[in-house]
């Protein structure tokens, strides 16, 4: 998997979809629920480092 770049590709895709999720949340007003969703995105992405 490493030799073919699958891991790096998967990490890149996770970051990409995390940004899409953040963009989808951007128009919403600041609430504890929005903050929690952003925290979940950040947590999931941080696990790959």
Q: Report DSSP letters for 1-42, one per residue.
A: -TTTTHHHHHHHHHHHHHHHHHHHHTTSPP-HHHHHHHHHHH
Is the full-model pTM beyond 0.75? Answer: yes
Interacting residues of 7 by C-beta distance below 8 A, sequence separation 6+? 1
CA distance 26 to 34: 9
Per-residue pLDDT tens listing for the chain (49 residues): 888 999 999 999 999 999 999 999 999 999 999 999 999 999 999 887 6
């Amino acid at each position: 998997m490493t030799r073919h770049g699958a891991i790096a590709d998967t990490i890149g895709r996770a970051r990409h979809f995390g940004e899409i999720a953040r963009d989808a949340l951007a128009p919403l007003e600041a609430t504890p629920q929005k903050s929690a969703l952003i925290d979940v995105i950040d947590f999931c992405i941080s696990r790959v480092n």
